[in-house]
């Protein structure tokens, strides 16, 4: 259960404060490029947060969450091509499409359990991937370059990297607070209950299916916002956002940070992406090192990397 | 048209059996040990690479194939002893992640050892060429060999698991580990053996396809998802199910991409049909899986949950 | 690969330990190579890099300047490539970016690099949009425009008088462009047109249709591993009596895997290892001696790109004046291993194209070999759409 204990509140405050002052540090360093990396980290943190909501609290291991990144990213590309550049419109469209997609695929997927759920969510993401690969009008596999980022009130404010960064950060903090509120609500408790003991939940009058589906849809919508941010950050959209590897990487982020611990998802995304950047500097064959770390984390720490820093592992 | 249809049917069955060959080791490990092994695809890849190396060392594909089997058995043993045995009683999520890590390590490792360029095994003289079929159509001999290998694997697994003492222990161990252990069977050793055997099956599949398919660092990943689709459709834990699932996927994929556009043309404009066919073809297998799981949440032959 | 200081700065920033920024050195020439160096497509990126570096070693100081070459891996992920490209121009302040291999990666890095004012030179990818409507003064391609290799084969099929040709390509953008390119110069009947799945393993179904139709020839665009699968299976299905025309399907990057199965198969190219120019002879010899493999066109284009940059820098007298440098590049003041080479107004090459055939050389290695010239001083079809500003 998530309790917003004082420690957690402090941890959250410190983490987000660190993110908030980062642009000033990079300015001092004269290294504006860091903001670009950091924005990417924030976008993935949103997606990991979304995944943790259903994975950590609802026990639903979605191996297809990259589909929502793709939906969000293509919302930017497709609306942008049609001349609609407003960030709000992009987000609304992303959320609407993601909600419909999550509702349909979720309703089918939730009929299954365990590994079947993992595989069917993967299957739906693959369908999305191949759909966009075949979508000639938007470049198919080649993807689409965005001529401009989303606008805010008709102003190209987000062309400034720092502005985009703070927008992403504001969205992350807002969604984090929303996710915390959800997990602390009655809805969240039913969700956790349905994971722990679905029969009992049913016996006391809750239909786990409806709660799980609702959570799944919320999570999909949140992840699509990450896609909107990612598209703006890279100024480029392609089906590779929906690759099954991305879905796997999202799960890795959540597990790195420790599942069922929303702040952990944010930390996990940060750690995983920084680790990737750093290992890539050491050697071209960095996936070997990354894989090794992943295996070791799974084998020796049940709480993700955060588990290593805790002496009293429960 | 009829003869083409029959030939495509045969092609579908052949592709299905190829998929079964690849998925067989996965079913075994997944079904009996309830272990999600994403690294199955890369072990298959190791098998293919070893077949390349051994074939060029010995100058004979047959010898290369024979050497690949114990080598991949060894690979399986090493992986089991170092990583997998610590994961048996962990949740599926942990297994997925640890093996995802192994996929990264091995895919990149293969590039360090063998380079990134695609390699291949030359087709053995004896098995090259084709036999006449209907009219001008011919069928490659090696394809028949693959069909035979797949059927033999299926038969062998069926007999070993269903009709031998060790198979009985396996099935018992799968359904109640503690009970079987209490009866004096060394479950740990049993699982080690199964795992190594599963790796050898993957290696066998890799070595078998090396003469027809490219051997490159992406080959393991390409088949991994398909292999999972096959065993999930069939129902986890059922060799019969995996066989049925493989045939179904092979047929739907092959017939869908050869006759799908023709069917679509009957109901819509040719241009639109072409477009729709192109969008639908790569999704067919996944649509099949979604439909089957929607109707039967534990696959065709899976135990009811 | 890149500089360790990046991560130092990164860690410093994230842990609030600010350090001094490193000053930029102005008299050094900085070239960023951004190529796919990991994953299944890595072999092409490696060849391109090796070709470039071979030339760089031969030249010494490129353009007579102290040269620093920074190599970045575009992986096969466009968004990662976009970030790394941004890193090259914003952090490393490179003057020239060379890359990438794949068109979808070019789509991702084109804007960040050209917007920054750096010069982007593609040693391989040449999608139509950057040759036409979205041509850019800061962008050059030293390879070809993507459609051209397919047009070569279409023209060859037309010349041979084939009446019906069966077309085969993977179901993605480059596949569609490929068949369109072929049909641009081939006017005969199309016996059948099939888009296969990306990364397809088994081509029995398609081969059965080809066998049933018995077309005059088959044209295929199957890059990388798909080409290896198709070529081997084509040969095994006993179809070798039907001429096999292709682009990017049988070349030196896939021949080590295809070997005998590809013998006698045709391809279209702007170059082959046995193209008869003195520069080419020297290049192929040096490359084979150093890397123990036959270079493919990717290596050739990497090699040519380095010499182009060197010559243009000497002409322009350094990188300080970008406009002078662009003008110098446009003049292409170097001798390409391809012989005839100049840039059209859209910064895409005007060059000759050949029909090539797979042969087994005397040393037992497989390579493509020039059969005949198909196009002379050929330019792409998009140049008219280009409004350079």
To probe the interface with B, which of A58, A287, A302 has the most B CB atoms within 10 Å? Answer: A287
Using CA atoms, how far apart are residues A109 and B182, in angstroms rounded to an integer?
38
The minimal CB distance from A281 to the residues C7, C14, C176 is found for: C7
Range in A244-248, A303-307, C137-141, C282-286 with the lowest mean pLDDT: A303-307
Residue C67: beta bridge partners?
C29
Q: Residue B272 — pLDDT band, cuts 50, 70, 90?
A: confident
Could you report the per-residue pLDDT of C213-232, keeping only the tens digit for each? 899 999 999 988 889 989 98
Using CA atoms, how far apart are residues B284 and B266, in angstroms rounded to an integer?
19
- Interval C195-206 mean pLDDT: 84
Using CA atoms, how far apart are residues B57 and C16, in angstroms rounded to an integer?
56
Are C316 and C332 within 8 A, CB to CB? no
Are C108 and A236 in contact (CB < 8 Å)?
yes
| Chain pair A-C, CB pairs under 8 angstroms | 126
- DSSP string covering A60-128, please? ---S-THHHHHHHHHHHHHHHHTT--BHHHHHHHHHHHHHHHHHHHHHHHTTS-HHHHHHHHHHHHHHH
Neighbouring CB atoms inside 10 A of C199's CB total 17
B-contacting chains (≥3 CB pairs under 8 Å): A, C
Neighbouring CB atoms inside 10 A of B118's CB total 26
The minimal CB distance from A281 to the residues C4, C76, C91 is found for: C4
Closest-CA residue to C70 (of C84, C59, C81, C58): C84
Range in A223-232, B85-94, C137-146, C150-159 with the lowest mean pLDDT: B85-94
Are A116 and B232 in contact (CB < 8 Å)?
yes
Looking at residue B32, its pLDDT comes to: 77
Looking at residue C42, its pLDDT comes to: 82
Q: How far is A278 from chain C (nearest CA, A)?
A: 6
Nearest-Cα residue of chain B relative to residue C169: B278
Looking at residue A313, its pLDDT comes to: 34
Are B233 and B245 within 8 A, CB to CB? yes
Looking at residue A296, its pLDDT comes to: 92
Are A134 and B102 in contact (CB < 8 Å)?
no
Residue A310 half-sphere exposure toward CB, CA atoms < 13 A: 13
Closest-CA residue to B49 (of B10, B124, B106): B106
The minimal CB distance from A143 to the residues C6, C12, C107 is found for: C107
C41-70 in b/e form (b: 16+ CB < 10 A) is bbbbbbbbbbbbbbbbeebeebbebebebb
Give contacts of A33 with chain C, Cβ < 8 Å. Answer: 86-87, 90-91
C366-378/C349-360 β-pairing: antiparallel
pLDDT at C5 over 70: no
pLDDT at C142 over 60: yes
Tokens matching residue A179: 């996710």
Using CA atoms, how far apart are residues C113 and C125, in angstroms rounded to an integer?
15
Are B128 and C236 in contact (CB < 8 Å)?
yes
Q: How far is B61 from chain A (nearest CA, A)?
A: 31
Using CA atoms, how far apart are residues B216 and B54, in angstroms rounded to an integer?
16
For C316, which DSSP code?
A: H
| Chain pair A-B, CB pairs under 8 angstroms | 129
pLDDT at B305 over 60: no
Could you report the per-residue pLDDT of B58-73, keeping only the tens digit for each? 999 999 999 999 999 9
Looking at residue B302, its pLDDT comes to: 75
Are C198 and A236 in contact (CB < 8 Å)?
no
Are A123 and B294 in contact (CB < 8 Å)?
no
Check if CATH label 3.30.870.10 holds for domain C4-144+278-347: no
Q: What is the SS3 assignment for C375?
A: strand
Are B145 and B159 within 8 A, CB to CB? no
Tokens matching residue A11: 């941890």
Q: How far is A26 from chain C (nearest CA, A)?
A: 6
What residues does each domain of chain B span?
Answer: 2-295
Q: How far is C20 from chain A (nearest CA, A)?
A: 6
Chain B interface includes A104 (CB < 8 A): no
Looking at residue B22, its pLDDT comes to: 87
pLDDT at C335 over 80: yes
Looking at residue C12, its pLDDT comes to: 40
The minimal CB distance from A295 to the residues B101, B282, B297 is found for: B101
pLDDT at C25 over 70: no
Using CA atoms, how far apart are residues A116 and B133, in angstroms rounded to an integer?
41
Nearest-Cα residue of chain C relative to residue A39: C83
For C41, which DSSP code?
A: T
What ipTM is given for this predicted complex?
A: 0.86
Using CA atoms, how far apart are residues C35 and A194, in angstroms rounded to an integer?
48
To probe the interface with C, which of B19, B118, B129, B222 has the most C CB atoms within 10 Å? Answer: B118
Percent of chain C's residues with pLDDT above 90: 64
Looking at residue C21, its pLDDT comes to: 37
Chain B interface includes A33 (CB < 8 A): no
The minimal CB distance from A291 to the residues B92, B96, B104 is found for: B104
C-contacting chains (≥3 CB pairs under 8 Å): A, B
The minimal CB distance from A33 to the residues C7, C86, C127 is found for: C86
Q: Which residues of chain A have pLDDT under 50?
A: 1-2, 309-314
For B39, which DSSP code?
A: T
Q: How far is C246 from chain A (nearest CA, A)?
A: 21
To probe the interface with B, which of C238, C250, C291 has the most B CB atoms within 10 Å? Answer: C238
The CATH number fitting domain C147-269+353-378, selected from 3.40.50.2300, 3.30.1370.160, 3.10.580.10, 3.40.640.10: 3.40.50.2300
Would residue A304 be called left, alpha or beta, if left means φ above 0 and alpha means ψ between -120 and 50 degrees? Answer: left
Give contacts of C78 with chain A, Cβ < 8 Å. Answer: 143, 234, 236, 238, 240
Closest-CA residue to C104 (of C173, C171, C38, C46): C173
Identify the residue with better confidence: C20 or B2: B2
Give contacts of A287 with chain B, Cβ < 8 Å. Answer: 104-105, 107-108
Looking at residue C26, its pLDDT comes to: 59
Looking at residue A308, its pLDDT comes to: 52
Could you report the per-residue pLDDT of B122-131, keeping only the tens digit for each? 888 888 777 8
Percent of chain C's residues with pLDDT above 70: 93
Residue C206, Cα to own-chain centre: how many angstroms? 28
What residues does each domain of chain A span?
Answer: 33-242
Looking at residue A305, its pLDDT comes to: 62
Tokens matching residue A244: 């099954």
The minimal CB distance from B286 to the residues A123, A133, A286 is found for: A123
Looking at residue A311, its pLDDT comes to: 37
> Alpha helix (H) ranges present in chain A?
6-29, 33-56, 66-81, 87-109, 114-133, 161-184, 186-196, 198-203, 208-234, 244-257, 262-282, 286-300, 305-308
> Alpha helix (H) ranges present in C116-172?
128-131, 147-160
Looking at residue C188, its pLDDT comes to: 92
Nearest-Cα residue of chain A relative to residue C17: A25
Are A98 and A68 within 8 A, CB to CB? yes
Mean pLDDT of chain C: 88
Could you report the per-residue pLDDT of B179-222, keeping only the tens digit for each? 777 777 787 888 898 899 999 999 999 999 898 888 988 888 87
- pTM of structure: 0.86
Q: Residue C156 — pLDDT band, cuts 50, 70, 90?
A: very high
Are C50 and C302 within 8 A, CB to CB? yes
| SS3 of C285-303 | HHHHHHHCCCCCHHHHHHH
Chain B interface includes C237 (CB < 8 A): yes
What residues does each domain of chain C span?
Answer: 4-144+278-347, 147-269+353-378
- Interval C270-274 mean pLDDT: 95
The minimal CB distance from B97 to the residues A111, A119, A251 is found for: A251
Q: Collect all residues from B whose CB is shorter than 8 A from any CB in A.
A: 30, 36, 83, 86-87, 90, 92-94, 96-98, 100-109, 111-112, 225, 228-229, 232, 236, 278-279, 282-283, 286-287, 289-290, 293-294, 297-299, 305
Cis check for the bond before C100: say yes or no (omega within 30 of 0): yes
Q: Exposed, middle or buried, B304 (CB in 10 Å: 0-12/13-18/19+)? A: exposed
Give contacts of A120 with chain B, Cβ < 8 Å. Answer: 232, 289-290, 293
Chain B interface includes A169 (CB < 8 A): no
Q: Exposed, middle or buried, A76 (CB in 10 Å: 0-12/13-18/19+)? A: buried
C139-141/C96-98 β-pairing: unpaired
pLDDT at C18 over 60: no
């Amino acid at each position: 259960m998530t309790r917003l204990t004082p420690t957690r509140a402090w941890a959250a405050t410190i983490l987000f404060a660190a993110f908030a002052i980062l642009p000033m540090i990079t300015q001092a360093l004269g290294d504006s490029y860091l903001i670009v990396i950091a924005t990417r980290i924030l976008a993935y943190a949103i997606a990991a947060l979304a995944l943790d909501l259903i994975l950590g609290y609802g026990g639903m291991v979605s191996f297809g969450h990259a589909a929502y990144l793709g939906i969000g990213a293509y919302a930017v590309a497709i609306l942008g091509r049609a001349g609609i550049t407003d960030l709000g419109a992009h987000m609304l469209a992303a959320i609407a499409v993601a909600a419909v997609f999550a509702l349909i695929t979720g309703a089918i997927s939730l009929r299954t359990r365990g590994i079947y759920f993992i595989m069917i969510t993967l299957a739906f993401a693959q369908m999305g991937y191949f759909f966009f690969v075949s979508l000639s009008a938007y470049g198919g596999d080649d993807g689409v370059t965005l001529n401009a980022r989303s606008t805010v009130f008709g102003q190209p404010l987000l062309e400034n990297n720092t502005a985009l960064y703070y927008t992403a950060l504001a969205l992350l903090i807002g969604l984090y607070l929303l996710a915390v509120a959800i997990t602390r609500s009655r809805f969240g408790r039913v969700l956790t209950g349905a994971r722990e003991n679905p029969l009992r939940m049913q016996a006391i009058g809750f239909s786990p299916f409806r709660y799980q589906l609702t959570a799944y849809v919320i999570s999909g919508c949140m992840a699509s916002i990450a896609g909107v941010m990612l598209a703006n950050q890279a100024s480029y959209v392609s089906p590779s956002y929906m690759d099954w590897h991305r879905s796997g990487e999202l799960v890795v982020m959540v597990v790195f940070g420790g599942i069922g611990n929303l702040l952990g998802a944010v930390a996990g995304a940060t750690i995983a992406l920084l680790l990737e950047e750093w290992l890539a500097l050491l050697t071209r064959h960095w996936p070997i090192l990354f894989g090794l770390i992943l295996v070791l984390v799974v084998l020796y720490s049940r709480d993700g990397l955060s588990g290593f820093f805790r002496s009293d592992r429960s | 048209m009829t003869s083409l249809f029959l030939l495509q049917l045969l092609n579908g069955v052949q592709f299905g059996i190829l998929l079964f060959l690849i998925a067989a080791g996965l079913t075994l490990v997944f079904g009996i040990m309830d272990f999600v092994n994403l690294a199955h695809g890369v072990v298959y890849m190791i098998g293919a690479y070893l077949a390349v190396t051994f074939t060029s060392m010995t100058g004979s594909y047959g010898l290369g194939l024979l050497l690949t089997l114990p080598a991949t058995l060894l690979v399986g043993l090493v992986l089991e002893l170092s990583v997998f045995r610590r994961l048996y009683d962990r949740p599926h999520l942990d297994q997925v992640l640890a093996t995802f890590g192994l996929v990264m390590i091995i895919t990149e490792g293969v590039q360090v050892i063998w380079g990134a360029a695609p390699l291949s095994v030359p087709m053995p003289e004896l098995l090259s060429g084709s036999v006449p079929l209907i009219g001008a159509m011919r069928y490659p001999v090696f394809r028949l060999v693959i069909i035979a290998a797949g059927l033999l694997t299926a038969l062998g697994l069926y007999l070993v698991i269903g009709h031998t003492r060790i198979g009985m222990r396996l099935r018992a161990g799968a359904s109640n580990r503690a009970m079987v252990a209490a009866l004096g069977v060394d479950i740990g050793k049993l699982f080690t053996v199964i795992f190594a055997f599963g790796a050898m099956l993957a290696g066998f599949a890799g070595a078998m396809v090396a003469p027809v398919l490219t051997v490159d660092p992406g080959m393991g990943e390409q088949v991994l998802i398909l292999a999972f689709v096959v065993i999930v459709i069939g129902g986890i834990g059922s060799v019969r199910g995996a066989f049925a699932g493989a045939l179904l996927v092979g047929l739907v994929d092959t017939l869908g991409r050869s006759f799908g556009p023709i069917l679509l043309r009957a109901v819509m404009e040719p241009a639109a049909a072409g477009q729709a066919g192109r969008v639908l073809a790569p999704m067919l297998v996944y649509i099949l899986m979604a439909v089957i799981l929607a109707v039967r949440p534990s696959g065709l032959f899976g135990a009811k949950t | 690969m890149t500089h360790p200081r990046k991560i130092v700065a990164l860690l410093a920033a994230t842990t609030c330990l600010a350090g001094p920024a490193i000053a930029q050195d102005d008299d050094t020439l900085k070239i960023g190579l951004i190529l796919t160096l990991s994953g299944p497509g890595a072999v092409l990126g490696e060849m391109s890099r090796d070709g470039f570096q071979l030339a760089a070693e031969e030249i010494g100081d490129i353009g007579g300047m102290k040269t620093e070459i920074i190599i970045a891996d575009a992986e096969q992920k466009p968004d990662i490539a976009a970030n790394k490209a941004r890193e090259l121009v914003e952090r490393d302040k490179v003057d020239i970016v060379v890359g990438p291999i794949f068109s979808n990666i070019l789509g991702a890095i084109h804007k960040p690099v050209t917007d920054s004012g750096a010069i982007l030179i593609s040693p391989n990818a040449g999608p139509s949009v950057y040759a036409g409507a979205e041509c850019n003064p800061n962008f050059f391609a030293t390879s070809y425009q993507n459609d051209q290799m397919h047009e070569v084969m279409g023209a060859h099929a037309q010349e041979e008088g084939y009446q019906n040709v069966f077309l085969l390509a993977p179901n993605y953008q480059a596949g569609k462009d490929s068949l369109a390119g072929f049909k641009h110069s081939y006017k005969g009947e199309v016996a059948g047109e099939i888009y296969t799945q990306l990364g397809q393993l088994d081509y029995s179904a398609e081969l059965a249709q080809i066998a049933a139709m018995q077309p005059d020839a088959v044209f295929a665009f199957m890059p990388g591993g798909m080409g290896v699968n198709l070529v081997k299976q084509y040969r095994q299905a006993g179809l070798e009596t039907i001429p096999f025309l292709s682009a990017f399907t049988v070349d030196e990057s896939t021949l080590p895997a295809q070997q005998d199965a590809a013998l006698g198969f045709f391809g279209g190219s702007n170059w082959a290892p046995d193209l008869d120019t003195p520069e080419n002879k020297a290049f192929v010899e040096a490359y084979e001696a150093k890397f123990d493999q036959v270079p493919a066109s990717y290596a050739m284009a990497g090699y040519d790109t380095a010499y182009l940059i060197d010559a243009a820098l000497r002409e322009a007298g350094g990188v300080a004046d970008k406009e002078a440098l662009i003008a110098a590049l446009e003049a292409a003041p170097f001798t390409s291993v391809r012989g005839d080479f100049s840039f059209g107004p859209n910064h895409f090459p005007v060059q000759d194209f050949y029909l090539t055939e797979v042969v087994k050389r005397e040393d037992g290695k497989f390579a493509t070999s020039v059969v005949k010239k198909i196009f002379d001083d050929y330019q792409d079809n998009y140049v008219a759409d280009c409004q350079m500003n």
